[in-house]
Amino acid sequence: MQAGRIWSYRSFVQLIDERRIWLDDAGVLTGQSVVILVRQQIHTWLVLLALRAMGVSTISISQVNQIKALGLEKYDHLLVFEGQGALSREAVHSLGIPSVLVVPLRYPKPVTPADAHAALEPRSGAGHVLYTSGTTGVYKKLRIDEITDTLVAKSRADWFGYDRNTIFGDGGIGTWTAIGYKQPLAVWAAGGCVLFSVPGQLWIDFNRFRITHTYVTPPGVAELLYQAYQLGGTHHDFQLMIGAGFLSEAHTCEVQAKLTPHITFTYGSTEVNTPPMRLDFQGDDVYWYTPSAPDRIEVVDEHGMLCPPGQEGALRVKLTHLDFQSYLEDPSATSSMFREGYFYPGDMAITRANGGIRVTGRTSDVLIIKGQKFTAVTHEQRLQRRLGGIEVCLLSGIDPQGQEVVVVALQASPSAEHGPAIEETLTGPLFSRMVAVYFPRFPRNDTGTEKIKRSEIRQILKTKALIQ
């Protein structure tokens, strides 16, 4: 469904087949690899599904400069869509990919419509490459083969409760992200409907088409709230699933009051295809997750031993046969994050006696003061609540005078009210020296999840001579 138009599965399959015929005539062959420069979601998906049915390996990108950053020069074709702007021969040559195909938005009808089941199922040799957010400055790629892809879609459909009555509102998260790629496939595996909304239109579509589910990131939640306040209307029956970040308890209660009472936080990563834990918000606790299986999630110390309840340690996920087992062409990163049947996502966490797990921060999101490490996220959450939801990022460093300092980075306009609030919230020896810095917008990754790039904030602080 897009722009109010609904396609049956038979019509959807015919649209896929039209693209398959065009791609075949254009010289795309089984076993080749193709880069797709994403346009509107529906056009991207139709081509992507056609390539899957042809046994072609694919990867989606949002910007041309990602070709070099991701090392895609050896791919056989780059697909761009009609109306995206012409690429000069010099530009094509500099990209390294030998063939650039301009995909039309209209096609002649095929003589014989394809069989629905055959067109939606990937052919042998097909596969799709996902990549991590790149917050560290280096992308890590993962390839899912056609057999695992199908099994993952069916598994996720069961886990999220999709069925033939599901109307899934696509939150505008692109196919280059794990969420944007995996969720529509799961809905289609269950026989449901995916509604692709144009930017700024999702809340209108919620009220018009009675969407039953959507999956968004925290910035997507903020956009939905903005649309709801601007456009009015209410809709209290849909399941709102939130991934790739957290909301404060006050913010979550606001979402419940304005959007829907049905809120589920999911914990996951690109590397883990089967979600390992979730939090169904009941209005009282927004931090403690429930594992999908008793032994799926563990918190361990630096020696790999299980931490007792209340002791902070590194979180690790037990991998299943449906999860990724390694990165593509990156043995160093693989050996660091995939170890002995577990994936180490880089999160710190604690457990409690009833099996609940709370993520306390990233192993890299720590404040180092007087040689000791402290998790930043708990202090950030307290200050964010005190400041009424303003986004906060805390970093430790050495100031120009050689003294340890905590930088309080705020995504906001400067205000005299912030200083007292910061001093009242962040107390004790850890925060004896602080400096507040304002950003109109934090630097974030470019892959849809919009995670804050702490390394880039730190570099900006160094450029401003606030820290060494």
Domain ranges of the chain: 1-125, 146-362, 364-463
Q: Which range among 54-58, 246-250, 334-338, 398-402 shows the weakest confidence by mean pLDDT?
A: 246-250
pLDDT attached to residue 411:
93
Taking Cα atoms as reference points, which of 53, 78, 216 lies closest to residue 149? 53
Would you say domain 1-125 falls under CATH 3.40.50.980?
A: yes
- List Cα–Cα distances, 285 to 96, 250, 252, in angstroms: 51, 11, 10
- Per residue in 259-289, pLDDT (tens digit) is 888 999 998 888 999 888 888 887 667 778 9
Share of the chain above pLDDT 70, in %: 86
pLDDT attached to residue 370:
58
Q: What is the dihedral of CA 228, 230, 233, 235, to 10 degrees?
A: 0
Say whether pLDDT at 446 is over 50: yes
Q: Domain 364-463 carries which CATH code?
A: 3.30.300.30
CATH homologous superfamily for the domain 146-362: ANL, N-terminal domain (3.40.50.12780)
Per the model's pLDDT, the better-predicted residue between 133 and 350 turns out to be 350
pLDDT attached to residue 118:
47
The domains spanning 1-125 and 146-362 adopt the same CATH topology:
yes
134: left (phi over 0), alpha (psi -120 to 50) or beta: left
Query: What is the pTM for the complete model shown?
Result: 0.77
pLDDT attached to residue 287:
77
